[in-house]
Amino acid sequence: MTVIPVKELSAAKSRLRGAVPGQRHPELVLAMVRDTATAVLSATTVAELIVVTDDPVVAEAVREVGAKVAPDPGAGLNAALRFGADEVAGLSTHRAVLTGDLPALRPADLDAALRAATGRAFVPDAAGTGTVLLAVPPRVPLDPRFGPGSAAAHRASGASPLTGDWLGLRQDVDTAADLETVLGLGAGVRTRSLLRDLGLSQACTSAACAG
């Protein structure tokens, strides 16, 4: 079972503001969420995706790609993750939580990371300071420590770091520079299409971008 938390679009990805015109910012956040959710649900090791969000636009979009939606308990990111993983999914199963800003995620890389995760384990972000994925086996509480410096916090809490050549998985998008990087890696169709429409990217020229 996998879980992705998503903030209200109007408040999300504040450090990314300015990468696209202000009124298109929520569309960019949503495009990245859709690409992330689509890649997660395409992984062979993933049976189900729960998106924890109170945003109705996000809820509708992720239901369209096959995710389930759970309400946000309203006590911040870690509370949302704990709720989705330990209460909605439940302790009896394997659970993995990912951030919703991984538009270059490759399903095969997620499969590889989840297969490598024995015990409570996490994947640091590309910078090495943050976390993009935390996984736990049955009966182990998630105990998430997301936020600034979360890689060190997860390590200190006893989780094992997973290091693989999973560039798209590790590349979260916090800033405009990260957006450039994911385009170079090959972002999902929604993100590429939006940036192409805005004239910000020549990266999407195939018919697939119309999707």
Ligand X SMILES: Nc1nc2c(ncn2[C@@H]2O[C@H](COP(=O)(O)OP(=O)(O)OP(=O)(O)O)[C@@H](O)[C@H]2O)c(=O)[nH]1
Ligand Y SMILES: C=C(OP(=O)(O)O)C(=O)O
Q: Does 57 bind ligand X (CB under 6 A)?
A: no
Give long-range contacts, CB 8 A cutoff, 24+ apart: 137-142.
137/94, 138/91, 138/92, 138/93, 138/94, 139/91, 139/92, 140/91, 141/82, 141/86, 141/91, 142/81, 142/82, 142/85, 142/86, 142/95, 142/97
The answer to the question of whether 131 is labelled as a binding residue is yes
The answer to the question of whether 150 is labelled as a binding residue is yes
Out of 3, 6, 31, 62, which residue is the one contacting ligand X (CB under 6 A)?
Answer: 6
The 10 Å Cβ neighbour count of residue 11 is 10
Out of 21, 147, 161, 186, which residue is the one contacting ligand Y (CB under 6 A)?
Answer: 147
8 A C-beta contact, residue 73 and residue 80 = yes
8 A C-beta contact, residue 185 and residue 168 = yes
The answer to the question of whether 18 is labelled as a binding residue is no
Rg of the chain's alpha carbons, rounded to an integer? 16
The tokens describing 45, both together, are 């090791």
Hey, what amino acid is at 113? A
Name the residue nearer to ligand Y (CB basis): 53 or 131: 131
Q: Does 100 bind ligand Y (CB under 6 A)?
A: no
Out of 5, 84, 107, 130, which residue is the one contacting ligand Y (CB under 6 A)?
Answer: 130
Out of 1, 2, 3, 12, which residue is the one contacting ligand X (CB under 6 A)?
Answer: 12
Find the part of the chain contacting ligand X (CB under 6 A) among 10-18, 154-162, 179-187, 188-196.
10-18
Q: How far is the CB of 73 from ligand X (least distance, A)?
A: 8
Q: How many CA atoms lie within 13 A of 107 on its CB side?
A: 12
Out of 13, 34, 120, 192, which residue is the one contacting ligand X (CB under 6 A)?
Answer: 13
- Enumerate the known binding-site residues for phosphoenolpyruvate: 131, 147, 150
Binding residues for ligand Y (CB under 6 A): 99, 125, 130-131, 146-147, 150, 172, 174
Residues that bind ligand X (CB under 6 A): 5-7, 12-15, 52-53, 72, 76-77, 80, 99-101, 174
